[in-house]
Protein backbone atom coordinates (compact mmCIF):
# COMPACT_ATOMS: atom_id res chain seq x y z
CA UNK A 1 0.00 0.00 0.00
CA UNK A 2 2.85 2.37 0.81
CA UNK A 3 4.34 1.63 -2.62
CA UNK A 4 1.05 2.76 -4.21
CA UNK A 5 1.17 5.99 -2.17
CA UNK A 6 4.79 6.56 -3.25
CA UNK A 7 3.74 6.36 -6.89
CA UNK A 8 0.80 8.71 -6.45
CA UNK A 9 2.09 11.38 -4.05
CA UNK A 10 5.25 13.24 -3.11
CA UNK A 11 6.66 15.67 -0.57
CA UNK A 12 4.77 16.58 2.59
CA UNK A 13 1.53 15.12 1.23
CA UNK A 14 3.20 11.70 0.87
CA UNK A 15 4.44 11.84 4.47
CA UNK A 16 0.98 12.81 5.70
CA UNK A 17 -0.66 10.08 3.59
CA UNK A 18 1.75 7.39 4.89
CA UNK A 19 1.19 8.47 8.50
CA UNK A 20 -2.59 8.47 8.11
CA UNK A 21 -2.77 5.10 6.35
CA UNK A 22 -0.40 3.54 8.91
CA UNK A 23 -2.62 4.79 11.73
CA UNK A 24 -5.75 3.52 9.98
CA UNK A 25 -4.19 0.06 9.61
CA UNK A 26 -4.04 -0.30 13.39
CA UNK A 27 -7.60 0.98 13.86
CA UNK A 28 -10.05 -1.92 14.21
CA UNK A 29 -12.95 0.30 13.07
CA UNK A 30 -11.34 0.87 9.67
CA UNK A 31 -11.13 -1.72 6.87
CA UNK A 32 -9.30 -1.68 3.57
CA UNK A 33 -10.19 -3.46 0.38
CA UNK A 34 -6.98 -4.19 -1.52
CA UNK A 35 -6.76 -5.00 -5.24
CA UNK A 36 -3.87 -7.30 -6.12
CA UNK A 37 -2.68 -8.69 -9.40
CA UNK A 38 1.07 -9.46 -9.28
CA UNK A 39 1.39 -7.01 -6.41
CA UNK A 40 -0.84 -4.42 -4.80
CA UNK A 41 -2.43 -2.33 -7.55
CA UNK A 42 -4.70 -0.22 -5.37
CA UNK A 43 -6.79 0.03 -2.25
CA UNK A 44 -9.72 1.82 -0.70
CA UNK A 45 -10.61 2.36 2.96
CA UNK A 46 -13.99 2.40 4.61
CA UNK A 47 -15.49 2.70 8.07
CA UNK A 48 -18.93 2.20 9.52
CA UNK A 49 -20.46 5.20 11.26
CA UNK A 50 -20.53 4.79 15.04
CA UNK A 51 -23.78 6.74 15.22
CA UNK A 52 -25.66 5.20 12.33
CA UNK A 53 -24.68 1.61 11.53
CA UNK A 54 -26.32 1.82 8.08
CA UNK A 55 -23.85 4.51 7.03
CA UNK A 56 -20.29 4.12 5.82
CA UNK A 57 -17.56 6.57 4.92
CA UNK A 58 -15.14 5.72 2.13
CA UNK A 59 -11.63 7.20 1.85
CA UNK A 60 -8.20 6.89 0.34
CA UNK A 61 -9.24 5.26 -2.94
CA UNK A 62 -5.98 4.89 -4.81
CA UNK A 63 -4.87 3.00 -7.89
CA UNK A 64 -1.09 3.15 -8.51
CA UNK A 65 -0.34 5.69 -11.23
CA UNK A 66 1.30 3.06 -13.49
CA UNK A 67 -1.87 0.93 -13.30
CA UNK A 68 -4.48 3.64 -13.86
CA UNK A 69 -6.73 3.74 -16.91
CA UNK A 70 -6.98 -0.07 -17.13
CA UNK A 71 -10.26 -0.67 -15.35
CA UNK A 72 -8.78 -1.35 -11.89
CA UNK A 73 -10.53 1.66 -10.33
CA UNK A 74 -13.86 0.40 -11.66
CA UNK A 75 -13.14 -3.12 -10.37
CA UNK A 76 -12.30 -1.80 -6.89
CA UNK A 77 -15.23 0.66 -6.73
CA UNK A 78 -17.67 -2.08 -7.79
CA UNK A 79 -16.22 -4.56 -5.26
CA UNK A 80 -16.47 -1.94 -2.52
CA UNK A 81 -20.11 -1.21 -3.32
CA UNK A 82 -20.93 -4.95 -3.40
CA UNK A 83 -19.28 -5.38 0.01
CA UNK A 84 -21.11 -2.44 1.59
CA UNK A 85 -24.42 -3.52 0.07
CA UNK A 86 -23.92 -6.97 1.61
CA UNK A 87 -23.58 -5.13 4.92
CA UNK A 88 -26.93 -3.43 4.19
CA UNK A 89 -25.41 0.06 3.84
CA UNK A 90 -28.10 2.69 3.29
CA UNK A 91 -25.68 5.61 2.93
CA UNK A 92 -22.19 5.59 1.51
CA UNK A 93 -20.42 8.92 1.83
CA UNK A 94 -17.09 10.11 0.50
CA UNK A 95 -15.11 13.31 0.09
CA UNK A 96 -13.57 13.62 -3.34
CA UNK A 97 -12.37 15.85 -6.13
CA UNK A 98 -13.13 13.04 -8.65
CA UNK A 99 -16.86 13.51 -8.83
CA UNK A 100 -17.11 12.32 -12.44
CA UNK A 101 -15.39 9.04 -11.50
CA UNK A 102 -17.68 8.33 -8.53
CA UNK A 103 -20.71 9.48 -10.52
CA UNK A 104 -20.21 6.40 -12.70
CA UNK A 105 -21.01 4.27 -9.66
CA UNK A 106 -24.23 5.97 -8.61
CA UNK A 107 -22.74 8.61 -6.29
CA UNK A 108 -24.33 12.05 -6.42
CA UNK A 109 -23.16 15.35 -5.00
CA UNK A 110 -24.46 15.90 -1.47
CA UNK A 111 -22.49 19.09 -0.69
CA UNK A 112 -19.42 20.61 -2.39
CA UNK A 113 -16.79 17.85 -2.46
CA UNK A 114 -19.05 15.38 -0.64
CA UNK A 115 -20.83 12.58 -2.49
CA UNK A 116 -23.43 10.09 -1.41
CA UNK A 117 -24.80 6.86 -2.77
Ligand X SMILES: CC(C)(COP(=O)(O)OP(=O)(O)OC[C@H]1O[C@@H](n2cnc3c(N)ncnc32)[C@H](O)[C@@H]1OP(=O)(O)O)[C@@H](O)C(=O)NCCC(=O)NCCS
Contact residues for ligand X, defined by CB under 6 A: 8, 61-63, 68-74, 96, 98, 100-101, 104
49 or 72: CB nearest ligand X: 72
- For the chain, first and last CA: distance in Å? 26
59 or 89: CB nearest ligand X: 59
Q: Supply the DSSP string of 14-67, one letter for each residue.
A: HHHHHHHHHHHHT-TTEEEEEEESSSEEEEEEEEE-SS-TTEEEEEEEEE-GGG
We find the least distance from the C-beta atom of residue 109 to ligand X, in angstroms, to be 13
Residues with Cβ < 8 Å from 67, sequence gap 6 or more?
37, 41, 42
41 or 89: CB nearest ligand X: 41
We find the least distance from the C-beta atom of residue 24 to ligand X, in angstroms, to be 15
We find the least distance from the C-beta atom of residue 56 to ligand X, in angstroms, to be 14
Amino acid sequence: MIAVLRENYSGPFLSKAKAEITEYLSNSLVSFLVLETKGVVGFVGYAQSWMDWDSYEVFWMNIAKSCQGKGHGRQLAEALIRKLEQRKAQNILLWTDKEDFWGKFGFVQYAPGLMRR
